[in-house]
Every structure is written in structure tokens, then in C-alpha cells.
């Protein structure tokens, strides 16, 4: 079951790309742009494909080199139609030209996911060939080019991003969210590292909560507890915050996963099909925005939004991929849930696995037992499926990133101790 799901999800990164530049569609929609985060996930997925026989090493090397050469040579500067600036890249890029679209921002966190994929490539392609040597060289150069200090704009915390029109965005990465990997890569930089106080600023607004008798560092959408973990093995390593609480970020993600299941089992808003084997609430696509009367209750349904549990927003939309991405943390509850989703026929074989989301409460015509189903796949969903199944099975991505000296430096500068860091 896991092999089949992993292979189907991996196929997204085979087919939903531009072979000329390696850019990956943000989602399976015609005329849609690329997402730099999806490119980073593709770079991490290719070694999995090689190890599992989904792709030859030669093909993976070719695809990886195309991506790295593109980013190394793409227009880089303050111009409005560039690809990147100061080592960062625009969130969304035109699939053909590779230039900025939608007046989007230079994204600090999405650049971190892109760079993490490059560092996976740097660690994996170790053969003494000209092509693999060039992968290592380019990945290193592109990481070193990121000016993490600039993105702090003279303050402690890191900005969400920058645009040529308005400068830095008014938001900073603080509190527990998907930017954990950003801080660790930024702290490890040998060229433009984040300042010493940056990590303390990041953790200063953490929210430790007790929900359903489970104490943990809270974040609502499940993906927050997963994305940094797809790359980094947090088992047994602790920063000062986690040392004080006798936990670590891996155990914390298990707690968040258990809370999700318990919320669905309680089902306080009485959505259809919520139960201990049907859950997964995260930032995701949805059937809205619209309000509908459903069985005498006025329901508000959202489009793409940061859904979370137990405090919401929650409109009955579930994301099967988010369940799979928790597999390493809680296989005891994730595997039965995947089996249930298989019985529900939520996966299309050879069509990239699970669609992004479904909502059994949302009424559709003609009637469908499981209601509304997203018509799309998203690269940001497909990657964690491939990576976390592999981390559960072999620990491949975790092992590769443990070999990255920059990550080790970043972890130590952030105050992490113990576990594999002491080896």
C-alpha cells in the first residue's frame, strides 16, 4: 500500500514539470505557475525515486542539474521581473520563462524549502563523475548566495519576504510554524548567517498548550508539524525550549497528530465522516468560499485557508496527504487511517495518488458519498507524502541531511544538543 501510494505521488514530479528548466507546477491546473517550494520537494524526491526504482540515477542527475543550472543562471536582482534577489527567490515563477508572476514576494520560507532540496542533492550525489560533482558545486554555491541577514531587515526575527514595489513584508517568522527549517539553515550559513538573537526571537512567542490531556507546542494546521520534519531528524535532539519541557520536536509532532485524531473522533461541529480513522486538518484547498444550508445547519465553506484543529477554522475539509505526512510520528494511528482512505477509494491509481482534499459535508450534484473532492494535486502535498513514507521506511532524507555540515552548525547555534548531534 505504501509503495503504491509513494510511487503514484512521486509521478507528480515526473510529469508536472518543465523539462527545459526543471520547474514544478504549484498545482495540477492548466496555465498555473511553478512553486519554488515544489521544486525543492522534487529535488528531495528524486533520490527517493532512485532508491525505490521509480527513476534511474542518470535521469535524476539530469533533472537535478537542469534545476540547479537554471537557478544559478536565472535573472537575479531588484528588477520586478527577475527570478530572485539576494539569494532568495520569488514564491511563484512562470513555468516557461522562470520569472516572477502575480507580483508575488521573494519568499524566505519557500526559498528555505528550495535550498533544503538542493542540500539533499548535494549530500546524495557523491559519485566521482563530472555531472554529480557539478551538482555538489552548484548546490553549495546557491546555498552560500542566500543573504539571510538581509531578510532580517536589521531586526531579530526573519521577514516573511520582500517585493520590489513595497520592500519588506510587515510580517515576521515568530512562534511555532513552518519556518523552523529556515532558521536552522540561516544560522548555519558560512557567508550571511542569521544573528545570534534570531532563534530566541523565533521561539519567544511559542504557545505551549494542554489539549485532550496532551501537552505540546501548539500550531493548528497539521502541516506545520511536518514540513521541517520531512528534511530534519528531530528525534532525541532538543533546543532549550524542549529541554525545559522534557520533549523534542519529533515527539511534539506525534502529540499534534494524536490531537488531530481525537478532535475528529469527538467531532464537535458534527461534520460527516469525521472519526478516529478519518481526519487530517491542515492548510488546504476547499470547496468555498460559499455558505450553504446543510441538514438545517448554515455552514460556511472556505477556499484555500489555514485550517486547524481543535480551534479551527474547520469546515469539514480533510486532507489525506496530511495524514500520510504524519506517518513517522504515529504509525499506530496513521496506518489504519490510510487503510480506511484506501477503502474509501480516495486515490486514483497512476494519477498522482490522493487529490488534495475532500469534504463529505459539502453537498454535490450528482450525489457522491464523500461529497466534494478537490480537482487538483499540489506539489506541496505530493512531496511530503514521498518523503515521509521514505523516512518511515528507511530514514533516507533524514540520513542525508544529517551529513550536511551547514545544518549541523545551524542546529548547534540554535542550542540543540543530544541524540545524533553528539555522534
Give the C-alpha separation, 14 to 265, whole Å. 37
Alpha-helical runs (H) found in 16-82: 36-52, 57-73
Q: Are 211 and 252 in contact (CB under 8 A)?
A: no
End-to-end CA distance of the chain: 35
Greatest Cα pair distance in the chain: 67
Whether the link from the prior residue into 258 is cis, omega within 30° of 0, is no
Q: pLDDT at residue 231 above 60?
A: yes
pLDDT at residue 119, rounded to an integer:
98
User: Quick check: bond before 366 cis, omega within 30?
Assistant: yes
Question: Does residue 423 have a pLDDT over 80?
Answer: no
Do residues 22 and 67 make contact, with C-beta atoms less than 8 angstroms apart? yes
pLDDT at 348 over 70: no
Q: Are 276 and 333 a contacting pair, CB within 8 Å?
A: yes
DSSP 3-state of 77: coil
pLDDT(350) > 60: no
Question: Quick check: 47 and 54 in contact, CB under 8 A?
Answer: no
Whole-structure pTM over 0.85, yes or no?
Answer: yes
Give the mean pLDDT of 84-94: 98
Q: Compute the mean pLDDT over every residue in the chain, rounded to the nearest whole number.
A: 96
228's enclosing H/E stretch is helix 227-231
Phi, psi of 159 (to 5 degrees): -70, 155
pLDDT band, very low/low/confident/very high, at 337 (cuts 50, 70, 90): very high
Please compute the mean of the pLDDT values over residues 365-383 and round it to a whole number. Answer: 92
Under DSSP, is residue 217 helix (H, G, I), strand (E, B) or coil? strand
Per-residue model confidence as pLDDT tens digits over 175-186: 999 999 999 999
What pLDDT is recorded for position 345? 82
Amino acid at each position: 500500500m505504501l509503495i503504491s501510494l509513494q510511487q503514484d505521488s512521486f509521478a507528480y514530479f515526473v510529469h508536472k514539470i518543465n523539462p527545459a528548466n526543471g520547474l514544478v507546477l504549484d498545482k495540477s491546473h492548466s496555465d498555473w505557475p511553478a512553486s519554488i517550494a515544489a521544486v525543492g520537494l522534487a529535488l528531495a524526491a528524486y533520490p527517493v525515486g532512485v532508491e525505490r526504482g521509480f527513476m534511474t540515477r542518470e535521469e535524476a542527475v539530469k533533472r537535478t542539474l537542469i534545476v540547479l543550472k537554471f537557478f544559478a543562471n536565472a535573472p537575479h536582482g531588484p528588477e520586478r521581473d527577475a527570478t530572485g534577489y539576494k539569494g532568495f527567490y520569488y514564491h511563484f515563477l512562470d513555468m516557461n520563462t522562470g520569472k516572477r508572476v502575480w507580483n508575488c514576494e521573494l519568499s524566505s520560507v519557500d526559498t528555505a524549502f528550495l535550498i533544503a532540496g538542493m542540500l539533499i542533492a548535494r549530500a546524495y550525489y557523491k559519485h566521482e563523475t563530472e555531472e554529480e560533482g557539478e551538482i555538489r558545486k552548484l548546490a553549495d554555491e546557491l546555498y552560500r548566495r542566500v543573504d539571510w541577514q538581509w531578510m532580517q531587515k536589521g531586526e531579530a526575527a526573519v521577514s516573511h519576504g520582500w517585493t520590489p514595489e513595497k520592500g519588506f513584508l510587515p510580517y515576521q517568522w515568530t512562534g511555532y510554524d513552518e519556518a523552523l527549517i529556515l532558521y536552522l539553515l540561516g544560522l548555519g550559513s558560512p557567508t550571511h548567517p542569521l544573528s545570534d538573537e534570531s532563534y530566541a526571537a523565533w521561539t519567544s512567542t511559542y504557545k505551549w498548550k494542554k489539549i485532550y490531556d496532551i501537552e505540546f507546542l501548539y500550531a493548528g494546521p497539521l502541516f506545520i508539524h511536518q514540513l521541517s520534519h520531512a528534511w530534519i531528524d528531530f528525534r532525541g535532539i532538543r533546543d532549550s525550549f524542549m529541554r525545559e519541557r522534557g520533549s523534542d520536536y519529533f515527539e511534539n509532532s506525534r502529540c499534534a497528530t494524536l490531537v488531530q485524531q481525537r478532535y475528529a473522533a469527538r467531532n464537535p461541529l458534527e461534520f460527516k465522516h469525521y472519526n478516529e480513522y478519518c481526519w487530517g486538518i491542515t492548510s488546504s484547498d476547499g470547496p468555498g468560499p460559499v455558505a450553504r444550508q446543510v441538514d438545517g445547519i448554515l455552514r460556511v465553506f472556505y477556499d484555500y485557508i489555514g485550517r486547524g484543529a481543535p480551534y479551527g477554522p474547520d469546515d469539514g475539509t480533510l486532507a489525506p496527504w496530511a495524514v500520510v505526512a504524519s506517518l513517522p510520528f504515529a504509525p499506530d494511528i496513521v496506518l489504519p487511517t490510510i487503510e480506511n482512505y484506501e477503502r474509501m477509494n480516495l486515490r486514483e491509481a497512476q494519477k498522482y495518488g490522493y487529490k488534495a482534499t475532500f469534504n463529505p459535508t459539502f453537498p454535490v450534484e450528482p450525489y457522491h458519498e464523500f461529497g466534494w473532492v478537490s480537482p487538483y494535486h499540489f506539489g506541496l502535498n505530493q512531496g511530503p507524502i514521498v518523503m515521509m513514507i521514505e523516512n518511515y521506511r528507511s530514514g533516507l532524507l533524514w540520513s542525508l541531511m544529517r551529513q550536511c555540515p551547514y545544518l549541523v552548525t545551524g542546529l548547534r547555534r540554535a542550542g540543540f544538543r543530544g541524540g545524533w548531534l553528539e555522534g
